[in-house]
Structure 1
Amino acid sequence: MHGAVFLIEFGGILFALGLLGRFAGRLRFSPIPLYLLAGLAFGEGGLLPLGASEEFVAVGAEIGVVLLLLMLGLEYTASDLVANLKTQYPAGAVDFALNAPPGAAMALLLGWGPVAAVVLAGVTWISSSGVIAKVLGDLGRVGNRETPVILGILVLEDLAMAVYLPVVTALLAGAGLAAGSVTLAVSLSVAGLVLFVAVRFGRTVSRFVSSDDPEKLLLVVLGLTLLVAGIAQQLQVSAAVGAFLVGIALSGEVAEGAHALLSPLRDLFAAVFFVFFGLHTNPADIPPVLVPALLLAVVTAATKIATGYWAARRAGVSARGRWRTGGALVARGEFSIVIAGLAVTAGVQPDLGPLATAYVLILVVVGPLTARFTEPLGVAFAALRAGSRPRKAELAREP
């Protein structure tokens, strides 16, 4: 009976997610907010609370995080990452300086303490690579002059996660300064080692993993990723960082083949992950944090636009491209939920999960709109300012 209930519940979840995904696709919209709403509906306090399948959904959510980071790592080679670090690190520094402090300040103003401040800083700092990539494709901007600037900022954020996630993991575990320093040192050492191996011996690693049989390639890559992610988590580094580093180490035809094979699995388990996060958020807990979430969304949308504008101007992009860059970076999504999910699991602050859910829901909806309309609004505003300057000068000359 228990098995039958599990199949009914989990099958119903997947069926509902499929319908929501189709609906979002017709609207050319990210399905992430719909998945989060589905989680709210299936969770405690929702319309149809789950019972038998919740434990399996939790395991699926962990796999979803691992696959999200693996696929992200497959997008980049070690040489790409090193080149981005050398050329665009000032943009990464500005990105952090403008977008992390609002989250930290909000947590402190709400009286949540320093650990929650570090977590919420990450939530507001990191843009959604998945949503942004989809929006750029939908708007036909993949070949635009400003697109490398956008991708460069996203790559730097992804690299920063290799340092940030172990720090957060140590803080959430209640580790002291010494233990936290050891954890960070281990994480940086592993990351550095993987990058070195990927640069010097990437072809050798890829040949070892490579297989002409798609089934064997899928099993080897997925098995290796889960193995490394599990070892990383056992060392209190981060399963997500371990998966990201595996993706970086693979290159060439192996990376392309693994990407094609794992994309459907990534989409499946990522959807389960967003549902799982929603399951742990009571819909009744969202209204009390809606005002702080809305305030954070307004402030950090503006800071992301400023980040993109500055980075694009530094790269010599035209004024229109600068506005497009800023508007494209506004969306938050999978990384923000991953970071908040760590805190929710650790039981740091009960209201952090609802706040992060509301915040992501707002910006994952607003992000595609800012990507589309920031440029014309910015150009109109600039023209208005330019038109008002001569008029001010004339008034100053009048007796």
Structure 2
Amino acid sequence: MLALASSTFHLDPLIYDLGLILCSAGVAALIFKRLKQPLVLGYLIAGFLAGSKFDYFPTVTDIKSVKVWAEIGIIFLLFSLGLEFSFKKLLKVGGTASVTAGTQIGGMLVLGYLCGTALGWKTMDSIFLAAMLAVSSTTIILKTFEELGVKTRRFAVNVLGSLIVQDILAIIILVLLSTIAVTQSISGIALVTVIVKLVFFLTLWFITGIFFIPSLLRYAGKLITEEMLLIIAIALCLVMVILAANVGFSPALGAFVMGSIIAETTKAEQIEHLLKPVKDLFGAVFFVSVGMLIDPVTLQHYAIPVLILTLVTIFGQSILATTGSLLSGMPLKQSVQSGVSFSQIGEFSFIIATLGASLGVTSDFLYPIIVAVSAVTTFTTPYLIKSGDHVAAFAERILPRKWIKNIERYSANAQSIRAQNDWHILLRKYFLHIALHASIIIAIVLLSEKFILPFAKDNSSLRFVVALGTLFAIAPFIYALGWHKTSEIQVQNLLNNKRYRGPIVMMVLFRFVLCVLLVGFLIDHFFSTLFAIILLGVFISLYLLFPRKLKSQYAKIERHFIHNLNEREIYMRNRSRSDLTPWDGHMTSFEIDPASDISGKTLEILKLRELFGVNIAYIKRADFVIPTPDKNEKLFPADEIFIIGTDEQIQRFSKFLEDHEVHPASTIADPDISLNQFVLKNETFIGKSIRDSKIREETSGIIVGIERRGNRTFNPESDMILEKNDILWIVGNRRKLIDMIESYRE
């Protein structure tokens, strides 16, 4: 017993190091939270203190193990980022965010490379520097928006949309950098090959994931506890990480892709909630590990480059993002507000720096320099975002009046509703159709060749059976690629124009030729010429004898995929964006705090419209919605009120609510409430005031905007007289609005 008591236990260095890292991170988090500074900056300083470059603090002993933890941190950061991303979201943010992000990243890539070259650094250092400076920090921007309470501001919509596009472009940059680092050269053919390979695998993974994963989570249903759901989510993430690594891509890409797939399921919010503590834990370890690489001696030696790159990041990102926003059609004020929000680098810069260091293609000084630039720009970000209004006002004062008029005119034209023509719609659907089905066919053939064909070895009969089975597997997709009709309305419209008949015929022929080539691709991987002819005959027979069966089978597959793809949207009841109106107005929501002294008061007593100029579109109370509440409606604890107003109106209203302990809500809109626009032509309403028109009573809606001869009135007064050709913007019950528009349309 005494011997046992006196024995000492051996503590693994990994446990000691993890304890030191988390203690340092915890203390730093408390201090920086108290100082109202970004936690990432605290983690970086904590890492510096725990690293080998600082002698007055306990030091991490096993750097190799810490790097493993940090790599896990990167995986969970990207997985969590993917959960917040949706491929549908990318389509919804549209051209505005794409132009902003594309202009910013493209410009910073050029600017970063020129800076590296001017500083006399080698080519690979300059390339990696350009990539590090190009991507802003999603984490820092989102945290800053939350802390400053500006997520309800209109410019934030453009910023958040641009961040989605940036994350996609950053993943592509990461993959391209891996190729450049391995080949040590920039080959146009090699880069095109990598991009094609990336698109192929992304398409394949997304289609397969959407087809199977929502079904898996749905069928498991009530059997899955929160613990099981977290384990399944992490398991799926790591499976995709392994797949990505095996085909030559970054593990971070696999984590991001799996996150974006799960983002389309009904369990996305629950998984994101369960994963948050895990992400925060490993994310802290990652940022602390980055801080360990800060070398004061190196920074002192490279103080001038750090200063130059910091200024390039702040001013370059801000100016390029502002330019991109202007090009996309955003007004000057919102463009400037968006621009200053992007003036930092963060997690992706660290990931890119880690990639360069791990592959041994970048110099040792580059990592600590980037960490220093990130730390400074992280610190300045909140102040720059706060100054957005003042910077915009300053820009309006110094710019020539003619420029401002041109910007306003360009913005108004860009924000007007423009329909795509039939030819553009047809082309988009045509190429998407080909890309999706060709990817599926090629993947099935390659998988069959790699995993099933080896069992046949040199047995010709078995090879024929495997090939025939593969042909049956791809038959529905071959049918869809060659014969499934797409864009029928657009095709019929375009056939009436002789100009488009030739191109449409060529497009149809190309699909047939591609089908033959893909069947030939299958045959080439399995057979000699004799068997090829036989298999081709089987393929033709299948189509001639069973066209309806093939069509039915494909329709079944397509229905299953579309159901899974739209499952979350149906589950979330098609929540609309907060950006509803065509001008500066938008909708946001607030939740009535149980302790608020406005609880129990009627809207007539509160006089929200008279005091702040805002309208209440509807109130969400428990499981039902009160559309366009009247003046006698009372507000109760836990009510969600949905407010329509401009940035300034909502800001004043938000301040009023803060004084009365009312908190912003997490949701934005309800499926039964939507914004609709129509031109007033019917005599029923013309010449009447808004109050006398009874539109509110008929549609349970509010007229939030009127456009008359180019002049716009937001939240018009109820005594405003309606005139012919007024463009009305009404928020209300979707079904009633549509019925009214249809019944009064001439």
* Structure 1 stretch displaced more, 100-109 or 81-90: 81-90
What secondary structure does 1:253 align onto? coil
Which of residues 97, 113, 118 is equivalent to 1:109?
118
Which of residues 227, 238, 248 is equivalent to 2:250?
238
Aligned partners of 2:229 and 2:271 also within 8 Å: yes
Query: C-alpha displacement at 1:193, in angstroms?
Result: 2.3
Which whole-Å deviations, capped at 9, do the CAs of 1:184-236 have from their partners, x for residues lacking one?
43322212223445667774365368663111111111111122113312333
Matched, 1:118 2:127: yes
Matched, 1:27 2:38: no
Specify whether residues 357 and 377 from structure 1 end up closer, same or farther in structure 2 by C-alpha distance, changes over 3 A only.
same
Aligned partners of 2:48 and 2:294 also within 8 Å: yes
Query: C-alpha displacement at 1:35, in angstroms?
Result: 1.4
Give the Cα–Cα distance (whole angstroms) in 2 for the partners of residues 161 and 205 of structure 1: 30
The residue correspondences of 1:155-304 to structure 2 (distance < 5 A) are 155-174=164-183, 177=187, 182-197=193-208, 203-204=214-215, 206-207=217-218, 212-250=224-262, 251-304=264-317
Give the greater-gyration-radius structure (CA): 2
Give the Cα–Cα distance (whole angstroms) in 2 for the partners of residues 206 and 108 of structure 1: 51
Matched, 1:129 2:144: no
Specify whether residues 162 and 205 from structure 1 end up closer, same or farther in structure 2 by C-alpha distance, changes over 3 A only.
farther
Who is 1:395 aligned against?
none
The residue correspondences of 1:81-120 to structure 2 (distance < 5 A) are 81-84=90-93, 88-120=97-129
Who is 1:39 aligned against?
47
Give the Cα–Cα distance (whole angstroms) in 1 for the partners of residues 217 and 370 of structure 2: 38
Who is 1:373 aligned against?
387
Aligned partners of 2:174 and 2:250 also within 8 Å: yes
What secondary structure does 2:154 align onto? coil
Query: C-alpha displacement at 1:3, in angstroms?
Result: 1.8
Who is 1:394 aligned against?
none
Aligned partners of 1:78 and 1:195 also within 8 Å: no
How many pairs align?
A: 388
Aligned partners of 2:76 and 2:279 also within 8 Å: yes
Specify whether residues 10 and 112 from structure 1 end up closer, same or farther in structure 2 by C-alpha distance, changes over 3 A only.
same
Aligned partners of 1:78 and 1:198 also within 8 Å: no
Give the Cα–Cα distance (whole angstroms) in 1 for the partners of residues 75 and 18 of structure 2: 20
Query: C-alpha displacement at 1:55, in angstroms?
Result: 3.0
What secondary structure does 1:376 align onto? helix
Give the Cα–Cα distance (whole angstroms) in 1 for the partners of residues 212 and 98 of structure 2: 25
Specify whether residues 304 and 202 from structure 1 end up closer, same or farther in structure 2 by C-alpha distance, changes over 3 A only.
farther
Amino acid at match of 2:245: Q
Specify whether residues 281 and 26 from structure 1 end up closer, same or farther in structure 2 by C-alpha distance, changes over 3 A only.
closer
- Provide the TM-score with structure 1 as the length reference: 0.88
Give the Cα–Cα distance (whole angstroms) in 2 for the partners of residues 94 and 180 of structure 1: 21
Matched, 1:67 2:67: no
CA-atom RMSD, angstroms?
2.7
Give the Cα–Cα distance (whole angstroms) in 2 for the partners of residues 334 and 291 of structure 1: 23
Query: C-alpha displacement at 1:323, in angstroms?
Result: 2.1
Q: Percent identity?
A: 24
Amino acid at match of 2:372: A
Who is 1:141 aligned against?
150
Residue segments in structure 2 that go unaligned for 5+ positions in a row: 1-8, 404-746
Give the Cα–Cα distance (whole angstroms) in 2 for the partners of residues 87 and 328 of structure 1: 16
Amino acid at match of 1:73: G
Specify whether residues 114 and 83 from structure 1 end up closer, same or farther in structure 2 by C-alpha distance, changes over 3 A only.
farther
Query: C-alpha displacement at 1:170, in angstroms?
Result: 1.8
Give the Cα–Cα distance (whole angstroms) in 2 for the partners of residues 316 and 181 of structure 1: 31
Matched, 1:154 2:163: yes
Specify whether residues 208 and 110 from structure 1 end up closer, same or farther in structure 2 by C-alpha distance, changes over 3 A only.
farther
Query: C-alpha displacement at 1:51, in angstroms?
Result: 4.9
Query: C-alpha displacement at 1:268, in angstroms?
Result: 1.0
Which whole-Å deviations, capped at 9, do the CAs of 1:57-91 have from their partners, x for residues lacking one?
21110111011111111112221123446554322
Amino acid at match of 1:190: F
Aligned partners of 1:128 and 1:334 also within 8 Å: yes
What secondary structure does 2:11 align onto? helix
Matched, 1:360 2:374: yes
Give the Cα–Cα distance (whole angstroms) in 2 for the partners of residues 162 and 353 of structure 1: 19
Aligned partners of 1:162 and 1:188 also within 8 Å: no
Give the Cα–Cα distance (whole angstroms) in 1 for the partners of residues 201 and 354 of structure 2: 24
What secondary structure does 1:44 align onto? coil
Aligned partners of 2:299 and 2:306 also within 8 Å: no
Aligned partners of 1:67 and 1:243 also within 8 Å: yes
Amino acid at match of 1:204: S
Give the Cα–Cα distance (whole angstroms) in 2 for the partners of residues 70 and 334 of structure 1: 13
Which of residues 23, 26, 29 is equivalent to 1:15?
23
What secondary structure does 1:280 align onto? coil
Which whole-Å deviations, capped at 9, do the CAs of 1:112-160 have from their partners, x for residues lacking one?
3222222111111100001101111122221221122111211111111
Give the Cα–Cα distance (whole angstroms) in 2 for the partners of residues 119 and 151 of structure 1: 25
Aligned partners of 1:327 and 1:375 also within 8 Å: no
Specify whether residues 320 and 27 from structure 1 end up closer, same or farther in structure 2 by C-alpha distance, changes over 3 A only.
farther
Amino acid at match of 1:268: L
Give the Cα–Cα distance (whole angstroms) in 1 for the partners of residues 219 and 190 of structure 2: 35
Give the Cα–Cα distance (whole angstroms) in 2 for the partners of residues 67 and 271 of structure 1: 11
Give the Cα–Cα distance (whole angstroms) in 2 for the partners of residues 190 and 86 of structure 1: 25
Who is 2:349 aligned against?
336
Query: C-alpha displacement at 1:6, in angstroms?
Result: 4.2
Query: C-alpha displacement at 1:317, in angstroms?
Result: 4.2
Residue segments in structure 1 that go unaligned for 5+ positions in a row: 390-399
